[in-house]
Amino acid sequence: MIAPAAGTAYDTPMNAKEPIHIVGGGLAGSEAAWQIASAGHPVVIHEMRPVRKTAAHETDNLAELVCSNSFRSDDAEYNAVGLLHEELRRCNSLIMRAADGAKVPAGSALAVDRNLFSETVQAALMDHPLVSLEREEIAGLPPAEWKSVIVATGPLTSEPLSKAVLEATGEDGLSFFDAIAPIVYKESIDFDIAWFQSRYDKPGPGGGTADYINCPMTETEYNAFLDALDAAEKTEFHGWEKDTPYFEACLPIEVMAERGRETLRFGPMKPVGLTNPHTGEQAHAVVQLRQDNTLGTLYNIVGFQTKLKHGAQKDVFRMIPGLQNAEFARLGGIHRNTFINSPRLLDDQLRLKVRPNLRFAGQVTGVEGYVESTAVGLIAGRLALAEEMGETLAPPPDVTALGALHRHITGGANAETFQPMNVNFGLFPLAEGIFRGRGKKMAKKKAKSDRALAALADWLGEPTEETGTVSDTAEQTGA
Each residue's pLDDT expressed in tens, for the chain with a length of 479 residues: 334 444 343 444 444 689 999 999 999 999 999 999 999 999 999 998 766 666 556 678 899 998 788 999 999 999 999 999 999 999 999 999 999 999 999 988 999 999 999 999 999 999 999 999 999 888 888 998 999 999 999 877 777 888 888 888 887 666 666 678 899 999 999 999 999 999 988 876 666 778 999 999 999 999 999 999 999 998 876 554 556 677 776 788 999 999 999 999 999 999 999 999 999 999 999 999 999 887 888 899 999 999 899 999 999 999 999 999 999 988 888 767 788 899 999 999 999 999 999 999 999 999 989 999 999 999 999 999 999 999 999 999 999 999 999 999 998 888 887 878 889 998 998 877 767 677 888 998 999 999 999 999 999 997 655 443 333 333 332 22
**DSSP tag of 347:** -
Decide if 332 contacts 182 (C-beta within 8 A): yes
d(C-alpha 206, C-alpha 104), whole Å? 9
Separation between Cα atoms, residue 112 and residue 425, nearest integer Å: 25
Phi and psi torsions of 400, nearest 5°? -90, 160
123: CB partners within 8 A, 6+ apart: none
Q: Which residues lie closer than 8 Å to 375 by C-beta, 6 or more apart?
A: 84, 87, 88, 367, 401, 402, 405, 423
Phi–psi pair at 417, nearest 5 degrees: -125, 20
Q: Strand 333-339 and strand 174-180: pairing? A: antiparallel
**Cα 219 from Cα 284, distance rounded (Å):** 6
